[in-house]
Amino acid sequence: MIASLRAIAFATILALPIAAKAQDVVTLGIVSATSGPLAAAGRFQLNGFNLALDKLNHDGGIDIGGKRRSVALKVYDTHCNPAEGASAMERLSSVDKVPVVLGELCSPVVAAETPVAQDNSIPFVITVPTAESLTLQGNPWVFRVNADNNQLNQALAKVVVNGAMSPLAFIAWNNDAGRGGVSSMQAQLPPDVKVAYTGYFNVGEVDFSAHITNIRRAGAKAIMLFMDEEPGALAIRQIRDAGLDAQLIGTLAMGSARFLTRLDAKYLAGMVQYNAFPPNAPLPRVRAFDDAYKASFKEESHGFAAQSYDALLMVADALHRAGTATDGEAIRKALMSTGYDGVIGAIRFDTHGQASPPVYVTQWCDNGTRRIIFPADLASACGGG
């Protein structure tokens, strides 16, 4: 069934029971980027939602107020564009009248969507964007299951300090995500970790030679890359081909098997990156999800998929506890009191609607596998990350 759900179009409804009556189906809203330059990340996100959808309907749907209801998804492609995101949120709220909206990939789009969600009293559950400001605006209708930049960088900062990776250089997107990531990381570092160089690039740029020259002149021992897969692969190749032997530090976009298909293992060997979901971690919940994901999609699982999978099942649990799919305030209160244990770990929201899932740091090995180096109690050999 999952294979039939992979082609997602703008404003598509996905549901299992074709013959089900409309009143027997609860439709949840999804916003993501299913086309354009971030479609690859959107595919991981949608795969997680679809896997959860399949599980819910296979198990009989959601018991809401004593009545079993199957689940469908109404998906809007926002292209990581704030205006399109706000429009999609307005339509999901006022036209489609879904009880909850989930997803999104880009922090600036979330910033445009959250006021619309608040105006329409509709809970919005974020599953990928990391800008810490998104849950600090005093908006009680916003929840985030994944770690924010501060939570991610706290773990990575410990590895930077313990590995004596100073002086440190940054190459980052010239946008909210990149600048916010750099600021967050710098705030986590102690004064004895020196920043030798900080450079920004615009989306679409492919030449990192000027940054590499500046980093070489600055004498940086480590380079942190705040970018996604495509520019990350280009930057790493150019850094290594230029003979710059600095410690590479990546983001979670650079910690999956998919990233290895863009680069030979020799380019990645030794690089570390924070990771929300190491698919080979020696944890039963992680291995079970990775097995299920591989069975459906024929590839290694991904953190974006795991976070989205958990979010949809958590929302189903909240609808069950609220006993309604129409009362936004009751659903919001049920989400705030969530005590859900998912494949990414325990999901509990603080007063800002922010969860605190486990964060890992993995390292690429010479043979193209990964190992966990943080937290220490889960440290693994190559192949266990």
How do residues 90-128 score in pLDDT, each as one tens digit? 999 999 999 999 999 999 999 999 999 999 999 999 999
Q: pLDDT for 42-92, tens place per residue?
A: 999 999 999 999 999 999 999 999 999 999 999 999 999 999 999 999 999
Angle at 72 between CA 44 and CA 108, to 5 degrees: 45
Q: pLDDT for 336-357, tens place per residue?
A: 999 999 999 999 999 999 999 9
Check residue 11 and give its pLDDT.
53
Contacts of 238 (CB under 8 A, 6+ apart): 207, 208, 209, 212
Let me know whether 178 and 37 are in one domain: no
The enclosing domain of 25 has a CATH number of 3.40.50.2300
Let me know whether 158 and 95 are in one domain: no
Q: What is the DSSP letter of 269?
A: T
Q: pLDDT for 247-281, tens place per residue?
A: 999 988 898 888 888 998 999 999 999 998 999 99
Question: Is residue 338 a contact partner of residue 348, using CB atoms and an 8 Å limit?
Answer: yes
State both tokens at 86.
């706000």
Let me know whether 99 and 87 are in one domain: yes
Check residue 256 and give its pLDDT.
85
Check residue 38 and give its pLDDT.
84
Is 341 within a domain? Answer: yes
Q: Please check the confidence at residue 2 and state whether its pLDDT lies above 50.
A: no
> Per the structure, how many domains does the chain have?
2
Angle at 279 between CA 275 and CA 282, to 5 degrees: 105
Q: What is the mean pLDDT of residues 124-147?
A: 96
Of the pLDDT bands very low, low, confident and very high (cuts 50, 70, 90), residue 137 is: very high
Q: What is the DSSP letter of 105?
A: S
Let me know whether 226 and 370 are in one domain: yes
Of the pLDDT bands very low, low, confident and very high (cuts 50, 70, 90), residue 14 is: low
Check residue 4 and give its pLDDT.
32
% of the chain residues with pLDDT over 70: 94
Q: Which residues pair with 102 in a beta bridge?
A: 30, 125
Q: What is the mean pLDDT of residues 295-308?
A: 95
State both tokens at 358.
């486990």
Is 120 within a domain? Answer: yes
Check residue 8 and give its pLDDT.
33
Let me know whether 263 and 306 are in one domain: no
Residue 325, domain extent:
2-146+284-347
Residue that is written with structure tokens 């998919």 in the block: 258
Let me know whether 101 and 47 are in one domain: yes
Is 48 within a domain? Answer: yes
Provide the mean pLDDT of the chain: 92
Q: Is the pTM of this model over 0.85?
A: yes
Let me know whether 92 and 236 are in one domain: no
Let me know whether 63 and 79 are in one domain: yes
Is 353 within a domain? Answer: no
Q: Please check the confidence at residue 375 and state whether its pLDDT lies above 70.
A: yes
Q: Which residues pair with 345 in a beta bridge?
A: 342
Is 384 within a domain? Answer: no
Is 385 within a domain? Answer: no
Let me know whether 199 and 263 are in one domain: yes
State both tokens at 254.
């650079």
Check residue 264 and give its pLDDT.
86
Let me know whether 290 and 164 are in one domain: no
Let me know whether 11 and 101 are in one domain: yes
Q: pLDDT for 184-208, tens place per residue?
A: 899 999 999 999 999 999 988 999 9
Q: What is the mean pLDDT of residues 134-142?
A: 97
CA distance 87 to 269: 43
Q: Please check the confidence at residue 315 and state whether its pLDDT lies above 90.
A: yes
Is 34 within a domain? Answer: yes
Contacts of 2 (CB under 8 A, 6+ apart): 50, 51, 54, 296, 297
Is 23 within a domain? Answer: yes
CA distance 267 to 277: 22
Let me know whether 164 and 304 are in one domain: no
